[in-house]
Amino acid sequence: MDCHIKSALFAGKTICMGIQLQWEQHDPDILLFDLRSNQTWDDFHAAVQQGIEMLYDVPYPVYVITLSASGFPPSASILSHFHKVAQQLPPNMALIVVVTDNFLVETINQIFFKISPLGRKLGRLAKTMDEARQIIAQYHAQWGTISQKQARHP
């Protein structure tokens, strides 16, 4: 599935099969990745590819806030989908904060963040957008202006 063919740009939002990607209005270092619509894994990977291209378009470290769906599309191996994404992340990806209050989604992300070295370095969980922003602010305060190498390996 090609996100470019089925995507449209509306007021700074990239809509990809119901998935929205948008630079935060008040903090251009934050990319919002809204997964709260129904999608397939193909839709998810196409949207991730679009998000990765957006990160490559900027020269500075980027924080991603993912607004998680209440579940995952059917899959024999959900973690393999996350692993595929982790292998594609650009070097300016500073942090990924997954916002969810769903126990299953939280548990699967916690497992991935524990077993994946990159997930351990970049992945965080939050219950709300405010908490996600606090996590990013604390990370930024601790690491300051981070180089691309530090973004991957703090």
pLDDT tens digits, 48-90: 899 999 999 999 999 999 998 887 766 777 777 788 888 889 9
Quick one: pLDDT at residue 78?
78
- Whether residue 116 contacts residue 84, with contact meaning beta carbons closer than 8 Å, is answered with no
Q: Which of 3-7, 24-28, 117-121, 131-135 has the highest mean pLDDT?
A: 131-135
Q: Dihedral of the CA atoms 142, 125, 133, 22 (nearest 10)?
A: 120
Backbone phi, then psi, for 19, in 5-degree steps? -90, 130
Map residue 154 onto helix, strand or coil. coil
Residues 32-55, mean pLDDT to the nearest whole number: 87
Encoded tokens for 117? 């070295």
Query: Where do runs of H (alpha helix) occur along 5-128?
Result: 41-56, 78-88, 103-115, 117-122
pLDDT at residue 7 greater than cutoff 60: no
Quick one: pLDDT at residue 13?
63
Contacts of residue 145, defined as CB under 8 A and 6 or more positions apart, other chains included, come to: none
The CA distance from 135 to 141, in Å, is 10
Question: Where residue 1 falls among pLDDT bands split at 50, 70, 90?
Answer: very low
pTM for this prediction:
0.80
pLDDT at residue 95 greater than cutoff 90: yes
Residue located via tokens 């219950």: 127
Quick one: pLDDT at residue 146?
42
The mean pLDDT of the chain is 80
**pLDDT tens-digit profile of 116-148?**
888 889 999 999 999 999 999 999 888 765 433
